[in-house]
Amino acid sequence: MPDFSIGVDLGGTNLRIAAVTVDGQLLDKVTLNTKVALGPDRTIDEMCDAIQRVSTTHKASGSFRGAGIGVLGIIDIQAGTVRKSANFPGWEDYPVRAEIERRLRACALLENDASVIIDNDGNVAALGEQWLGAARGVDNVAILTLGTGIGGGIVFGGKIWHGMNGMAGEFGHVTVEPDGVPCGCGNRGCAERYASASAIMRMAREAIASSEAPALAKAASGAEFGALAIYNLAMQGDEPSRRIFHTFGRYLGMMLAGAVNVLNLDAYVLAGGVSSAWDAFAPTMFEELRQRSLVYALTVPADALSSNSSEKDAMWGQPPLRQAQGRLSAVQAEQSSAGAAAASMERKTIITRALLGSDAGLFGAARAAVLAG
Ligand SMILES: [Zn+2]
């Protein structure tokens, strides 16, 4: 049996752990009700106990190759610490990686080439989607997580690109409107002020305030009012709701056009809850991309637009697993069947939805530990 590693998702609410073989088979997945608020010592005790339990269960499968911890926050990769995170007050300067290594050594789990890494959750999610998800089979990938804001991560040559000190991949804070909406980062007009769940809510409030969006106003009085309700209205043809997603797609396309021009990656994967509104924003996003990026226009897949309509049956919250995988493998088949010299010119820029959901970070963290070993 192949060796395995452990991926950990250290989020704000719970702690998830997965054992994954080096060839990408999921052996085990557990969720702990760890109270992060009780402090780093307790959290890391419980994490290491769980890593030990899971690893002991699968010892017969192969050797333990290490553990990767994906953390929601700004990480100092070299020091192995959490520099800043709203979810982990009091963790600053706590030696997270060193303490995990110490505990795993104490139970004789960490030996030989096994390693412990900590990284940002967006980075490990990018690696997960590149390894086993929507961008499987290509080496150069960016992930954009569309949630309350826009998270990001970049994989170059099959490895996480951290930049100088781990701050690479901040797609959400690229300016798309010079004098636009103020952002928490101090800038104005950041992409995430126009293409995120909070942006959808802001645009809905503005539409309601204009008294020209009766359906939105009616929905806003309901308890369940959120981005999903606005998406449903848009798909039912409500014009003000449709406009919100067109604006969303336009700014997202603008930001992606810049990324495609600069990075020329194989794939850009859209993840996060709001990526499920693909049907509502993708047409304007692709239109904007083609207009604003010559690199994209020269590498646009033949089915970039038709793939949108073929995904109409994909519902909010359900990743379009087969469609996205099918599209990527079709493009790869096209690429591998072409002559070697022509192939590099024939490669297409894939922009697609994520496949692995919240598991991307678990798989990516497990992968990162093996790559570091
Ligand atoms: Zn910003």
| Per-residue pLDDT, 308 | 37
Q: Taking the complete model, does pTM exceed 0.85, yes or no?
A: yes
**Rounded distance from Cα 256 to ligand 1 centre (Å):** 16
> 322: pLDDT confidence band, cut at 50, 70 and 90?
very low
| Per-residue pLDDT, 309 | 34
| Mean pLDDT computed over 290-310 | 77
**Rounded distance from Cα 186 to ligand 1 centre (Å):** 6
**Rounded distance from Cα 185 to ligand 1 centre (Å):** 4
**Rounded distance from Cα 277 to ligand 1 centre (Å):** 22
**Rounded distance from Cα 106 to ligand 1 centre (Å):** 43
Higher pLDDT, 219 or 92: 219
CATH superfamily, with its number, for domain 136-355:
ATPase, nucleotide binding domain (3.30.420.40)
At 236-260, the pLDDT tens digits run: 999 999 999 999 999 999 999 999 9
Q: Where are the domains of the chain?
A: 4-127+363-372, 136-355
- Per the prediction, the chain carries an average pLDDT of 88
| Per-residue pLDDT, 336 | 52
| Per-residue pLDDT, 36 | 81
Give percent of the chain with pLDDT exceeding 90.
Answer: 70
**Rounded distance from Cα 370 to ligand 1 centre (Å):** 33
At 68-108, the pLDDT tens digits run: 999 988 889 889 998 887 778 788 889 999 999 999 988 87
**Rounded distance from Cα 243 to ligand 1 centre (Å):** 23
| Mean pLDDT computed over 362-373 | 95
At 40-77, the pLDDT tens digits run: 999 999 999 999 999 999 888 789 999 999 998 888 98
Indicate the Cα dihedral angle 217, 222, 226, 232, nearest 10°. Answer: -80
**Rounded distance from Cα 175 to ligand 1 centre (Å):** 8
At 199-213, the pLDDT tens digits run: 999 999 999 999 999
What 299-305 contacts at long range (C-beta under 8 Å, 24+ apart), as own/partner pairs, is: 299/347, 299/348, 299/349, 300/348, 300/349, 301/327, 301/331, 301/348, 301/349, 301/350, 303/327, 303/330, 304/351
**Rounded distance from Cα 183 to ligand 1 centre (Å):** 5
Look at residue 149 and tell me whether its pLDDT is greater than 60. yes
Is domain 4-127+363-372 given the CATH code 3.30.70.2610 in the classification? Answer: no
**Rounded distance from Cα 181 to ligand 1 centre (Å):** 9
**Rounded distance from Cα 11 to ligand 1 centre (Å):** 22
**Rounded distance from Cα 262 to ligand 1 centre (Å):** 19
Question: Among 104-108, 148-152, 174-178, which is the least confidently predicted range?
Answer: 104-108
**Rounded distance from Cα 310 to ligand 1 centre (Å):** 34
